[in-house]
Amino acid sequence: MDFNDKVVIVTGGGQGIGRCIVQTFADKGAKVVIADIDDEAGIENEEYIKSKGGDSLFVHTDVSLEEDVGNLVDKTIKTYGKIDILINNAGVGARGTIYTRPMEEWDRVINVNLRGTYMCSKYVAPHMRDNGGGVIINIASTRAFMSEPHTEPYSASKGGIIALTHSLAISLGYDKIRVNSISPGWIEVSEWKKSREAKKPQLTEEDHLQHPAGRVGKPEDVANACLFLCSEEASFITGANLIVDGGMTVKMIYV
């Protein structure tokens, strides 16, 4: 898979899964724009890529703010002249429970995860269309299909991302823009956090064996799925949702 000279925007590219996606595309020769609200993490990742001889640009971006998203797209076009790939990865979890959570918390999660995904796609799509096409990947979650107590805003935002992906794939298909989602399951991200925050969770044998694949997921599992869906080899795949969960969601659990 060749991504030489491709221009890729990764939202939430400072830490976690997004940080790994950034480095994976950079390793394949792409020019990667890191859009994150966390300046320290974003700059750290940009510098890391440059130290390895790669090409990267950090743009401070809150994906829930229209002004920031407009600025992100402007800076990318000014710097690199085009946008080939957009990975909508920025996301936040919900605090509290349905009994304690103020409505502002619902708005915050929906605004970042769902509205942010739509808004980044909306601002990027005209540039992709005018450049002959592109690929958008929206990072959803297995929480779109299976839930834990009190995850309503997060689960609803991720379910919304999958429906949004269907609609975008249809709207943008004839402009040669493919749109797919990826639903990660349990992904262990501690090694992809800013160095000062890295703390390893104690994973048990049982945690790993919950997965038919025999292990908890890694950010690389999601990043590699992104590479494939963005490649020419996936040129007939649009509107799809790829579950990357080691088989956990298809496993019957007896209680």
Can you give the binding site for ligand ADP, defined by CB under 6 A? Answer: 11-12, 14-18, 36-38, 41, 61-64, 90-92, 112, 189
Residues 12, 223: Cα–Cα separation, whole Å: 13
Q: For residue 100, give every residue at least 6 positions away whose Cβ sits within 8 Å of its Cβ, in sequence order, or none.
A: none
Of the residues 99, 118, 154, 174, only one is catalytic, namely: 154
Q: Which DSSP string do the residues of 206-239 spell out, in sequence order?
A: HHHHTSTTSS-B-HHHHHHHHHHHHSGGGTT--S
- Determine the 3-state secondary structure of 204 from DSSP: coil
Closer residue to ligand ADP (CB): 11 or 155: 11
Q: How far is the CB of 64 from ligand ADP (least distance, A)?
A: 5
The DSSP bridge pattern shows strands 85-88 and 7-11 to be parallel
Q: Nearest to ligand ADP by Cβ — which residue?
A: 16
Q: How far is the CB of 156 from ligand ADP (least distance, A)?
A: 17
Q: Return the closest-CA partner of residue 32 out of 58, 53, 51.
A: 58
Q: How far is the CB of 41 from ligand ADP (least distance, A)?
A: 5
Q: How far is the CB of 60 from ligand ADP (least distance, A)?
A: 9
Alpha helices in the chain (DSSP H): 16-27, 39-51, 66-80, 103-110, 116-130, 152-172, 205-209, 219-230
Closer residue to ligand ADP (CB): 11 or 180: 11
Closer residue to ligand ADP (CB): 113 or 238: 113
Strand partners, 241: 181
Closer residue to ligand ADP (CB): 59 or 128: 59
The order of strands in the sheet holding 7-11 is: 55-60, 31-36, 7-11, 85-88, 134-139, 177-184, 241-244
Closer residue to ligand ADP (CB): 164 or 189: 189
| Tokens standing for residue 167 | 């609609």
Q: How far is the CB of 252 from ligand ADP (least distance, A)?
A: 27
Active-site residue, 154 included: yes
C-alpha of 132 from chain center? 23
**Alpha carbon separation from 137 to 2, 25, 84, 229 (Å, rounded):** 17, 13, 11, 8
Active site positions, annotated: 154
